[in-house]
Amino acid sequence: MTSYPHLLSPLDLGFTTLANRVLMGSMHTNLEERGDWNRVAEFYAERARGGVGLMVTGGMAPNAEGGVFPGAAGLFTPQDIAHHRLVTDRVHDAGGRIAMQILHAGRYAYGPDCVAPSAVKSPISPFAPRALDEAGIEKQIDDIAIAAVRAREAGYDGVEIMGSEGYFLNQFLVTHTNRREDRWGGSYENRMRLPVEVMRRVRAAVGRDFIVIFRLSMIDLVPNGSTHDEVVQLARAIEAAGADILNTGIGWHEARVPTIATSVPRAGFAWVTKKLMGKVGIPVITSNRINTPEVAEGLLAGGCADMVSLARPFLADPEFVNKARAGRPDLIAPCIACNQACLDHTFGGKVSSCLVNPRAGHETELVPVPTDAPKRVAVVGAGPAGLSAAITAAQRGHAVTLFDRAGEIGGQLNMARRVPGKEEFHGLVDWFAAMLAETGVTLRLGVEATPDALEGFDTVVVATGVTPRDPGIPGQDHPSVLSYVDVLRDGAPVGGRVAIVGAGGIGFDVAEFLVTGESPTLDLPEWLREWGVTDPETARAGLAPDGPQPEPPVREVVLLQRKAEKPGKRLGKTTGWIHRAALLMKGVQMKAGVNYERIDDAGLHISYGAARERPEVIACDTVVLCSGQESARGLADALGARGVACHVIGGADVAAELDAKRAIDQGVRLAAGL
């Protein structure tokens, strides 16, 4: 008897039946553009073997002008079709089903040839689009229908028409981007003509027995976006035009509301999808921040949707469905919604991967095979680097002992998980604990691993992490001064007025921790109020008329850095803006280009620039030092002095720019080669 009866029940589409209610949502991997089709095929095949009901590929361009960037992949030539055939064959051999997403980016296409209903530039692109004429619109519809036919030729089980997130089809729907006065603009009937016509022509082109999903924006979260009535009207028209399934899109890419970041409550937008249930006759999929089988099952049981879409969780663990079916959800590597190795890579032109699972996107190259020469391996340090190395080595058949002087595993993750909005790190530490048990790693907590204690091991891996950097500010031994470790790990009392020295990832985290009371991530109504999201039945596009209404800050905080650049500039590409906006909403002052002169009873004394001008005192009760980290290399040096070879990974290896992504990647890769 499964714990997930709804999730694992089949979905009958009439002409075909999906094995379960789990869709792997579309993700752009950047693999197709590299031309290694074996690698693309293996990426999808691994997920097909993991038991997912249906997968949707990353967005494929229907033509050159509609690609998300110049040269974006699509089905343009017979050779393209043959390449995609490799993917669909491999997926089908693995027992899976796969649909190809057709993505026309419209004015979001990052190139000078982009086209749109009207010549209105997007705030997130430097390129002004060309307004299409009647013939141009016909061409776009034709190209999308041709792409669908070619997808069928390439062996796909269906297509998903991308009609949400502010892309081309979405751009026709709202007056902000559609200023046309012909039959494609003006009234809502006219504005929805293009998406409906695309749906109709795709269905006519591919025939009845081919899955067509339409991804529809259920809440635009941009000024002048669609009303709920318009969304329902469109959904019904899309159903009548031949769609088999409606998928949910949440927010345009230019929306100033986070929709998938880790601080978004789990399943935080499923209530929006639920509004459509009962108003159309075809299955409806809900999505965004669904990362456990429990959450997914609850949504289906609660009538929020007929199917759930999870995308990034399939980067973190391709075996999500199989492990749920086997009753081992504790072994599912959790997606922590950090975006650090997936979307930040996608937008940086790198292959999308996963912080938690470095194999994602590297399935053909990073293959930890069973060892034929088992060794006694000691790993010192149970932070992300050491944990990953220990688990991977044990999976390969080595006898692994993991030491940490702390009484718990997790290292720096234990600080991250105390930060409001980073609760997903709890699940990551729990998963590491489950995997240590599952792989039979011997855990020695509360033990200082001295060189003597490490004698007798064949291989020693040093993952002793980092120590806080000493910023050397005169007066920093003043009783008002704490380090981020005192605050985040040890819960030291902090006054009402705080100056934070250092505005890196940890400075931002400490600021969030100090201004926030109860975490809004754990309280959906509060989170929605904080970001100005409301019921789209009462307010157009779901934007609250009175805007964001954050809770008042718990403390007054000033965040400082010496560099003159904008604080937070080096945070994640797709999440930095959220951290900055969250702190600004809480009245956090950010000061850049400062010199730290001294700390005394009056507070933190600073000046600006090389000439040490404009002296200022930041009156505060507490100064928190978040001035970066240095490698903790004591053990590595001591082993070196004895001539004992060891592998040094994570922060102990290089502290600068350290994050869990690099630590885990280094741990897994090292252990894959031991």
- How many contiguous H segments (helices) and E segments (strands) does the chain have? 21, 27
Residue 346 engages ligand SF4 in binding (rule: CB under 6 A): no
Residue 114 engages ligand SF4 in binding (rule: CB under 6 A): no
**Contact letters for ligand SF4, residues 451-470 (x by CB under 6 A):** --------------------
Give the integer Cα–Cα distance in Å for 117 and 106: 8
- In the complex, the smallest distance separating the C-beta of residue 148 from ligand SF4, rounded to whole angstroms, is 28
Q: Which one of residues 137, 145, 146, 315 is an interface residue with ligand SF4 (CB under 6 A)? A: 315
**Contact letters for ligand SF4, residues 188-227 (x by CB under 6 A):** ----------------------------------------
Segment 295-314, which members bind ligand SF4 (CB under 6 A)? 312
DSSP string, 407-472: SSS-TTHHHHTTSTT-THHHHHHHHHHHHHHHHT-EEEET----TTTTTT-SEEEE---EEE----
**Residue 628 binds which of ligand SF4, ligand NAP, none (CB < 5-8 A, kind-dependent):** ligand NAP
Q: Measured from the CB atom, is 297 or 423 closer to ligand NAP?
A: 423
Give residues with Cβ within 8 angstroms of 345, minimum separation 6. Answer: 30, 351, 352, 353
**Residue 413 binds which of ligand SF4, ligand NAP, none (CB < 5-8 A, kind-dependent):** none
The residues annotated with a catalytic role in the active site are 167
- In the complex, the smallest distance separating the C-beta of residue 402 from ligand NAP, rounded to whole angstroms, is 22
DSSP 61: B
- In the complex, the smallest distance separating the C-beta of residue 566 from ligand NAP, rounded to whole angstroms, is 11
- The single-letter code of the amino acid at 344 is D
Q: Which one of residues 206, 284, 316, 514 is an interface residue with ligand SF4 (CB under 6 A)? A: 316
Could you give the C-alpha distances from 230 to 104, 179, 181, in angstroms and in order?
Answer: 22, 17, 19
Give residues with Cβ within 8 angstroms of 433, minimum separation 6. Answer: 409
- In the complex, the smallest distance separating the C-beta of residue 591 from ligand NAP, rounded to whole angstroms, is 11
Q: What count of Cα atoms within 13 Å lies in the side-chain half-sphere of residue 418?
A: 18
How many other β-carbons are positioned within 10 Å of the β-carbon of residue 301?
12
Give the integer Cα–Cα distance in Å for 605 and 615: 7
Please list the alpha-helical segments (H only) found in 94-166: 134-153
Beta bridge partners of 640: none
- The single-letter code of the amino acid at 656 is A
**Contact letters for ligand SF4, residues 603-642 (x by CB under 6 A):** ----------------------------------------
**Six-digit token string for 46:** 């691994």
**Residue 556 binds which of ligand SF4, ligand NAP, none (CB < 5-8 A, kind-dependent):** none
Pick the closest to residue 52 from 278, 452, 332, 304 (CA basis): 332
- What is the C-alpha R_g of the chain? 26
Q: Measured from the CB atom, is 448 or 657 closer to ligand NAP?
A: 657
**Residue 212 binds which of ligand SF4, ligand NAP, none (CB < 5-8 A, kind-dependent):** none
**Residue 543 binds which of ligand SF4, ligand NAP, none (CB < 5-8 A, kind-dependent):** none
Give the integer Cα–Cα distance in Å for 552 and 537: 28
**Residue 177 binds which of ligand SF4, ligand NAP, none (CB < 5-8 A, kind-dependent):** none
CB 568 within 8 A of CB 508: yes
Q: Which one of residues 11, 148, 221, 342 is an interface residue with ligand SF4 (CB under 6 A)? A: 342
| Apex 620 CA angle, 616 and 624, nearest 5 | 100
Q: Which one of residues 132, 335, 514, 623 is an interface residue with ligand SF4 (CB under 6 A)? A: 335
Which residue has the CB atom at the shortest distance from ligand NAP? Answer: 504
Query: Could you identify the residue written with the tokens 């009609």?
Result: 163
Residue 660 engages ligand SF4 in binding (rule: CB under 6 A): no
Residues engaged in binding ligand NAP (CB under 6 A): 469, 471, 501-507, 509, 561-563, 571-572, 626-629, 657-659
590 membership: H or E segment, kind and range: strand 589-591
- In the complex, the smallest distance separating the C-beta of residue 31 from ligand SF4, rounded to whole angstroms, is 15
**Residue 137 binds which of ligand SF4, ligand NAP, none (CB < 5-8 A, kind-dependent):** none
Give the integer Cα–Cα distance in Å for 81 and 69: 20
Residues found near ligand SF4 in the complex (CB under 6 A): 312, 315-316, 335-342, 354-356
